[in-house]
Amino acid sequence: MAKGAEAAAASASRFPSIEKCDVSGGYRKSIAADLDGTLLISRSSFPYFMLVAIEAGSLFRGLVLLLSFPLIVIAYLFVSEALAIQMLIYISYAGLKVRDIELASRAVLPRFYASDVRAESYEVIQKCDRKVIVTANPTIMVEPFVKDFLGCDKVIGTEIEVDPKTRKATGFVKKPGVLVGKWKKLGLLKEFGDEQPEIGIGDRTSDHDFMSICKEGYMVHPSKTANPVPLDRLKTPLIFHDGRLVQMPTPINALITYMWLPFAFLLSIFRVYFNLPLPERIVRYTYPMLGINLVIKGTPPPPPSPGSPGSLYVCNHRTALDPVVISIALGRKASCVTYSVSWLSRFLSPIPAIALTRDREADAARIKSLLEKGELIVCPEGTTCREPYLLRFSALFAELSDRIVPVAVNIKQGMFHGTTVRGVKFWDAYFYFMNPRPTYEITFLERLPEEMTCGAGKSAIEVANHVQRVLAASLGFQCTQLTRKDKYMLLGGNDGKVESMYGKK
Q: Would you state the pLDDT for residue 342?
A: 64
Assign 64 a pLDDT band (cuts: 50, 70, 90). very high
46 has a pLDDT exceeding 50: yes
pLDDT-derived band at 4 (thresholds 50, 70, 90) equals very low
Measured CA to CA, the distance from residue 113 to residue 53 in angstroms comes to: 16
User: What is residue 505's predicted lDDT score, i.e. its pLDDT?
Assistant: 41
What confidence tens digit (pLDDT) does each residue in 145-165 have? 999 999 999 999 999 999 999
Residue 493's pLDDT is 80
Mean pLDDT, the chain, whole residue set: 91
Question: pLDDT tier at 340 (50, 70, 90 boundaries)?
Answer: low
Which three-class secondary structure state does DSSP give residue 195? coil
- Rounded to whole angstroms, how far apart are CA atoms 85 and 65? 12
Phi-psi region of 265 (alpha: psi -120 to 50; beta: other; left: phi over 0): alpha
* Identity of the amino acid at 502: Y
Torsion-angle region of 483 (φ positive above 0: left; ψ -120 to 50: alpha; else: beta): beta
pLDDT for the residue 440: 97
- Residue 35's closest CA among 150, 196, 194? 150
Whether 159 contacts 86, CB under 8 Å: no
What's the whole-number mean pLDDT along residues 267-290? 93
Residue-wise pLDDT for 154-211, tens only, equals 999 999 999 999 999 999 999 999 999 999 999 999 999 889 999 999 999 999 999 9
Strands 199-202 and 28-33: parallel
The pLDDT value given to residue 425: 87
Q: pTM of this prediction?
A: 0.91
Report whether 249 contacts 54 (CB < 8 A): yes
The long-range contacts involving 80-84, CB below 8 angstroms and separated by at least 24 positions, are: 80/180, 81/136, 81/178, 81/180, 81/181, 81/206, 82/136, 82/177, 82/178, 82/180, 82/181
pLDDT score of 495: 67
Q: What whole-number distance in Å separates Cα of residue 402 and Cα of residue 321?
A: 25
Q: How far apart are CA 468 and CA 134, in angstroms?
A: 43
What average pLDDT score do residues 450-461 get? 92
Whole-number Å distance between alpha carbons of 359 and 159: 46
Confidence at 25, pLDDT banded by 50, 70, 90: confident
Q: How far apart are CA 393 and CA 402, in angstroms?
A: 16
Burial of 382 (0-12, 13-18, 19+ CB in 10 A): buried
pLDDT at 14 over 50: yes
C-alpha 340/C-alpha 502 separation (Å) is 11
Cis before 176? omega within 30: yes
Helix (H) or strand (E) holding 78: helix 59-78
- Written in H, E and C, the secondary structure of 219-286 is ECCCCCCCCECCHHHCCCCCCCCCCCECCCCCHHHHHHHHHHHHHHHHHHHHHHHHHCCCCHHHHHHH
Model confidence over 76-125: pLDDT tens digits?
999 999 999 999 999 999 999 999 999 999 999 999 999 999 999 999 99
Angle of the 59-78 helix axis to the 251-275 helix axis, nearest 10: 170
Which residues 6+ apart lie within 8 Å of 179 measured at CB?
Answer: 134, 135, 136, 156, 157, 158, 187
